[in-house]
């Protein structure tokens, strides 16, 4: 292949690479005062699906969600609960209709989730690893 033919191919490859979403690891966070140091993905799923109202071993839990449509939210629910956005919406509608709980509190972005978790020892949330700082404690990486 000569240089003349290579340029269009390189331009197309660069455009494809920059248009694909690049996800950082999604991590589960809690308040540093929370005694929980780790949870399984199944335990986290139970909390965010409203099937567990406390941390394992006791202690109230307050799940904090990212807004609907946030890429980290979609990745979190796909990997932890194995639910697509549509399946999650249907699950939440059934949950509300049957009176079996309310969905987690929803915040606009990772910084808001981090602040809410940092302010409440019973809170649990998830964010991109890049949003984690010393104000919260990481307990699980979602892979």
pLDDT for res 101: 77
Closest to 26 (Cα-Cα) out of 79, 81, 86: 79
- Token digits of residue 130: 């890049």
Q: How far is Cα 103 from Cα 94, in angstroms, rounded to an integer?
A: 11
Domain ranges of the chain: 24-142
Read off the pLDDT of residues 90-118 as tens digits, 9 standing for 90 and up: 999 999 898 887 889 999 999 999 999 99
2 has pLDDT over 70:
no
Q: How far is Cα 22 from Cα 140, in angstroms, rounded to an integer?
A: 20
Task: For domain 24-142, say whether CATH 3.40.190.10 is its number.
Answer: yes
Read off the pLDDT of residues 5-64 as tens digits, 9 standing for 90 and up: 555 545 444 444 443 345 569 999 999 999 999 999 999 999 999 999 999 989 999 999
Phi, psi of 23 (to 5 degrees): -90, 130
Closest to 94 (Cα-Cα) out of 49, 46, 43, 48: 49
């Amino acid at each position: 292949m000569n240089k003349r033919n290579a340029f269009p191919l390189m331009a197309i490859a660069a455009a494809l690479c920059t248009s694909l979403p690049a996800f950082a690891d999604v991590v589960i966070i809690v308040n540093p005062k929370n005694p929980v140091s780790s949870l399984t993905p199944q335990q986290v799923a139970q909390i965010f699906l409203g099937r567990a109202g406390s941390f394992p071993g006791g202690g109230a839990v307050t799940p904090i969600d990212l807004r609907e449509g946030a890429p980290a939210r979609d990745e979190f629910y796909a990997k932890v609960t194995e639910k697509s956005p549509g399946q999650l919406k249907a699950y939440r509608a059934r949950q509300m209709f049957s009176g079996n709980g309310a969905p987690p509190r929803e915040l606009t972005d990772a910084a808001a989730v981090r602040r809410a978790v940092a302010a409440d020892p019973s809170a649990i949330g998830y964010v991109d690893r890049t949003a984690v700082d010393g104000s919260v404690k990481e307990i699980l990486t979602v892979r």
